[in-house]
């Protein structure tokens, strides 16, 4: 297929590399001339340009843009997408994006790959990002069935497992397993950053190992993404934070009360529950 990718950062660049390996012809849109040059050097697409006119060649287009640019797209972008072209996005919230694009394009289907790193920008993409990942599609009653089918087959060809959910269900679920961890990790990083005790800070920095690395990773990522998630999935994020605070308060009470048996049971239960979330 002739596939357009608008945005060549971590997700868009990785898509470009993977889809080229599957013999698709990729038309990549960079946001400035500097990134256009770097994308060409990294061979993120067969054709790279800042000119949105490149998209007229495409049978399917993937919007790999920041959330704010997906919710409030430029008129130039909207006008550059042929009406007969299947269109999707990779945004990590769905309701506001779908509400925008279903009114702009007849063949839009929302989607979201559950893959990423703390890296961003045109240097961050790599071909193996999506291997064995989950990829959620969020069709609605307005969705074109042929577009859903074509997009699904493309996703499966990239070694991804497809999940399907409503936009509302998606946003609730990712607030718990994807968005909440960003804010928890941020709070954790702030907690260990003991600026008022330099010797303790030096020691904790020297001792920090894989446990801290694993639990803090998403707090060291793209700050703009975290802000966009909080702004555009606010109610779900706040509900998740409130639920977490309640759970943490219970653990705090058990420690204060020296209720070690119940605390042990809670820790054991969490270990068992975690196995259902981790492959």
pLDDT confidence of residue 279: 66
How confident is the model at residue 221, as a pLDDT?
77
2-165 and 170-274 share one fold: no
What average pLDDT score do residues 42-60 get? 96
Instruction: Please answer whether residues 31 and 66 qualify as being in contact, where contact means their C-beta atoms are separated by less than 8 angstroms.
Output: no
Q: Looking at the domain that runs over 170-274, which CATH code has it been given?
A: 1.10.3660.10
Question: Can you tell me the distance from the alpha carbon of 53 to that of 50, in angstroms, rounded to the nearest whole number?
Answer: 9
Ordered by start, the domain boundaries in the chain are: 2-165, 170-274
pLDDT at 120: 82
CATH C-level class of 2-165:
alpha beta
* pLDDT value, residue 119: 78
| pLDDT of res. 278 | 79
pLDDT for position 217: 85
pLDDT of residue 155: 97
b/e string for 53-85 if b means 16 or more Cβ within 10 A?
A: ebbeebebbbbbbbbebbbebeeebeebbbeeb
Q: What is the arithmetic mean of pLDDT over 205-209?
A: 90
**Structure confidence at residue 218 (pLDDT):** 85
What are 237-269's pLDDT values in tens digits? 999 999 999 999 999 999 999 999 999 999 999
Rounded CA-CA distance 26/1 in Å is 8
CB atoms within 10 A of CB 224: 12
pLDDT digits (tens, 9 = 90+) for 23-34: 999 999 999 999
* CB neighbour list of residue 128: distance below 8 Å, 6 or more residues apart: 18
Give the pLDDT band (50/70/90) at residue 6: very high
pTM of the model: 0.90
pLDDT at position 109 is: 98
Say how far apart CA 229 and CA 237 lie, in whole Å: 8
**Chain segment 146-188, per-residue pLDDT in tens:** 999 999 999 999 999 999 999 999 999 999 999 999 999 999 9
- Which tens digit of pLDDT belongs to each residue from 84-142? 999 999 999 999 999 999 999 999 999 999 987 777 888 888 998 999 899 999 999 99
CA-CA distances (angstroms) from residue 134 to 7, 85, 159, 163, 251? 21, 24, 9, 7, 32
């Amino acid at each position: 297929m002739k596939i357009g990718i608008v945005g060549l950062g971590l997700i868009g660049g990785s898509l470009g590399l993977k889809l080229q390996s599957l013999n698709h012809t990729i038309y990549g849109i960079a946001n400035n001339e500097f990134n256009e040059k770097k994308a060409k050097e990294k061979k993120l697409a067969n054709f790279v340009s800042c000119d949105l006119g490149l998209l007229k060649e495409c049978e399917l287009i993937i919007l790999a843009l920041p959330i704010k640019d997906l919710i409030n797209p430029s008129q130039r972008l909207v006008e550059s997408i042929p009406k007969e072209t299947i269109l999707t996005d990779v945004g990590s919230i769905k309701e506001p994006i779908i509400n925008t694009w279903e009114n702009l394009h007849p063949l839009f289907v929302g989607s979201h790959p559950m893959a990423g790193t703390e890296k961003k920008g045109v240097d961050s993409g790599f071909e193996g990002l999506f291997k064995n990942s989950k990829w959620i599609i969020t069709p609605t009653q307005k969705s074109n069935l042929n577009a859903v089918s074509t997009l699904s087959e493309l996703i499966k060809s990239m070694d991804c497992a497809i999940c399907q959910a409503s936009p509302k269900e998606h946003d609730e679920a990712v607030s718990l397993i994807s968005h909440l961890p960003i804010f928890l990790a941020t709070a954790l990083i702030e907690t260990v950053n003991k600026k008022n005790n330099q010797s303790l800070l030096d020691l904790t920095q020297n001792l920090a190992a894989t446990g801290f690395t694993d639990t803090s990773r998403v707090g060291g990522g793209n700050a703009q993404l975290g802000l966009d998630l909080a702004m555009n999935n606010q109610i779900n994020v706040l509900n998740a934070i409130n639920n977490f605070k309640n759970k943490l308060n219970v653990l705090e009470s058990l420690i204060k009360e020296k209720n070690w048996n119940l605390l042990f049971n809670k820790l054991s239960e969490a270990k068992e529950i975690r196995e259902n979330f981790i492959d």
